[in-house]
Amino acid sequence: MDRRNFLASAGVGLGGSLLSACGGGGTSGLDVAGVSATPQAAAFRAVGTAPLPRVIVIGGGMGGATVAKYLRLWGNAISVTLIERASSYQSNIMSSLVLSGQRTMSSLTYSYDTLKSKYGIKVVVGDVKSVDPIKMRVTLANGDFLDAERIVIAPGIDFDPVAGLGTSERMPHAWKAGGQTTLLAKQLAAMPSGGRVILTIPKTPYRCPPGPYERACLVADWLRVNKPGSKLFVLDANADIVVERDNFMGAFLGIHGNVIEYVPNADVTQVDPATMQLNTTAGNFRGDVINLIPRQRAGSLITTLGLNNATDGRFAGVNGLTYASTVPGFEKVHIIGDASATVQPKAGHIANQEAKVCADAISRIFAGMDPDPAPVTNSACFSTITMREASWLSAGYQYDIGTAAMKLVPASFGASEGWSANNFDQMNNWFKSLMLDSFA
């Protein structure tokens, strides 16, 4: 199977629908380890004993791990070094299930051992201090540096500061999986029955469009069972539910109608952790537990390098064929995942898909070829509506020559009518396949 056909079929599943991911995504069970090297990669290897071209990947999340793996899988005459500040990755996908006690953080933790042992990727644990696009040099916080012919940055997201919050952890976001996820779970467990929980949703764009609504449904179902009489206030900075509206609104008004109060146009303006109060454009609210999800932007390295040239300075503009930066002078620096500005959702599966397009393009460039002129990706989301049932949403994207950007393929768009236990089982299968694709 060639790379383009693999990309086109990589998300097929769930009865033939194109599936990608919310906060996640994958290949729906394809045996990617068996994909053979492409002709251009083989031709490149035939050059002889010339030094291998080098690629440095910054960030070991869904995008970074996948691009590192596929650069080696599709162009194994490429030397790949992955730089990541943590020794393992904790998945944001499925992390809301930690709040309901259905998952543990250990079940969502993935090492880089297979990337090192099976694919020959060099893994460096450390923080990046600077990137020089002229010397093509990455300098670490400890003073060490590495040189390369191409650099891929996959830094994920950072958050806007919230007035009044400071360094307090009384209102955890839990939108980067890890300690704050565990903290929020403990806060919910300690809350007495009849308590008030608040979940805030930032203005778009943010990581995983259905994610906050999914979390609201899951927490509401958990409250109904474990904390009778409790209420969940969903404060949405947007004017309405931004994705999968029929299913989420149906759940908010129906099965969770006695628990959830949905408030649109509620943008957080000030918080007081001492009194657990939020001031918003829709009024003031006080909660016993507050899941405060701030507005988001590309990881700080993007701003430090001046690559935040899109979405009002929040995210990085990229070339849709290669994911190279559109900032002059950074043409050999590629940006993938949540930090990039495209019409595709900011989600783990899309990061996985963008990584494959990027790996394919870099491999072709090293082989003296042009990038694929018409790459395709797919995106989908399973959303937990109850602790045992889920819905799904899917869409496909293709590069449009006229706009020089990725574009939604309308005929590919689809969503489940309601939710089911079968979808919940499919969600778990999908997640397993995705993580195997990215990390094994």
Q: Domain segments of the chain: what residues?
A: 3-158+296-439, 161-291
Closest CA to 245 of 417, 48, 96, 127: 417
In this predicted structure, what is the pLDDT of residue 51? 83
Asked, as a colleague might, if the bond just before 205 is cis with ω within 30 of 0, I would say yes
Same fold, 3-158+296-439 and 161-291: yes
Helices 348-366 & 421-439, crossing angle to 10 degrees? Answer: 30
Distance between CA 152 and CA 324 in Å, rounded?
Answer: 8
In this predicted structure, what is the pLDDT of residue 49? 56
Assigned token pair, 182: 């565990």
**Residues contacting residue 18 through CB under 8 Å, at least 6 positions apart:** 11, 12, 378, 379, 380, 394, 395, 396, 412, 414
For 71, 185, 237, 343, the CA distances from 205, given in Å and listed in that order, are 29, 26, 11, 10
In this predicted structure, what is the pLDDT of residue 266? 98
**Residues contacting residue 348 through CB under 8 Å, at least 6 positions apart:** 21, 22, 23, 24, 25, 61, 62, 91, 92, 93, 208, 434
**Could you write out the DSSP letters of every residue in 268-324?**
EEEEETTTTEEEETTEEEE-SEEE----EEE-HHHHHTT---BTTTTBEEB-TTT-B
Which residue in the block uniquely carries the two structure tokens 């490149």?
44
Answer whether 271's CB lies under 8 Å from 292's CB: yes
Answer whether 412's CB lies under 8 Å from 378's CB: yes
Distance between CA 392 and CA 310 in Å, rounded?
Answer: 29
β 296-298/289-291 pair status: unpaired
CATH superfamily of 3-158+296-439: FAD/NAD(P)-binding domain (3.50.50.60)
Distance between CA 292 and CA 215 in Å, rounded?
Answer: 12
Spell out the per-residue pLDDT of the chain, length 440, in tens.
344 444 444 443 333 333 333 343 332 222 222 222 343 443 344 444 568 999 999 999 999 999 999 999 997 799 999 999 999 999 999 999 999 999 999 999 999 999 999 999 999 999 999 999 999 999 999 999 999 999 999 999 999 999 999 999 999 999 999 999 999 999 999 999 999 999 999 999 999 999 999 999 999 999 999 999 999 999 999 999 999 999 999 999 999 999 999 999 999 999 999 999 999 999 999 999 999 999 999 999 999 999 999 999 999 999 999 999 999 999 999 999 999 999 999 999 999 999 999 999 999 999 999 999 999 999 988 999 999 999 999 999 999 999 999 999 999 999 999 999 999 999 999 999 999 999 99
CATH of domain 161-291: 3.50.50.60
Backbone φ and ψ for 253, nearest 5 degrees, come out as -90, -20
- Coil, strand, or helix at residue 129? strand
Instruction: State CA 236 to chain mean position distance.
Output: 20
In this predicted structure, what is the pLDDT of residue 34? 27
